[in-house]
Amino acid sequence: MKKLTKETITFIESSRLTEKYSKLLEKHSVVNTMSAHDVEEVEKLIIKNGYPNSKYLSDENYYLLEQSDISEFKLSTKGGLVEFILTVKRHNISFAGNFGFIVYMAGQGAMFKKPSFSSYEELEEILVEGFGIYEDIKKGLSKSQA
């Protein structure tokens, strides 16, 4: 595993990713997950909550939500677990992985925990919060670029 640079860790800390993701996990850790769910229903929730150009990539079992020259944002709902996957490559800030892994790599939390859902309503709540975290990270990247 590649270590994160000091600049990257500072960026992750300033985005409050650990705090926000921990709250998301506390609220959404159900035991009986909705492992069988409809891809089209999930797509509707994704579009409704701000990502109208997302695509489901069935061969890789995730949704590509957004892609730019400095970041890529993906989502997996496999097994009723929500995995927000982020890749950022910008000057001295570089990291990749799901939110839980990024928090772990920054030395700020337990590894690989993912929020879980047992209904579409719960999934939508998770998406709203996770998308908010991503949007905050994007704003932080824009500020650090200026």
CA–CA dist 30, 116 (Å, integer)? 6
> Residue 55: beta bridge partners?
64
What's the mean pLDDT in 7-12? 84
Confidence of residue 110 (pLDDT cuts 50, 70, 90): low
> Residue 81: beta bridge partners?
116
- Residue 113: pLDDT over 70: yes
Residue 112 per-residue DSSP state? S
What's the mean pLDDT in 100-120? 83
pLDDT of residue 10: 85
- Which of 25, 29, 37, 30 has its CA nearest to residue 63? 37
pLDDT of residue 129: 96
Token pair recorded at residue 133: 């975290």
- Residue 58: pLDDT over 70: yes
Task: Dump pLDDT digits (tens) for 10-51.
Answer: 888 888 888 899 899 999 998 899 989 999 999 999 999 999
Confidence of residue 1 (pLDDT cuts 50, 70, 90): low
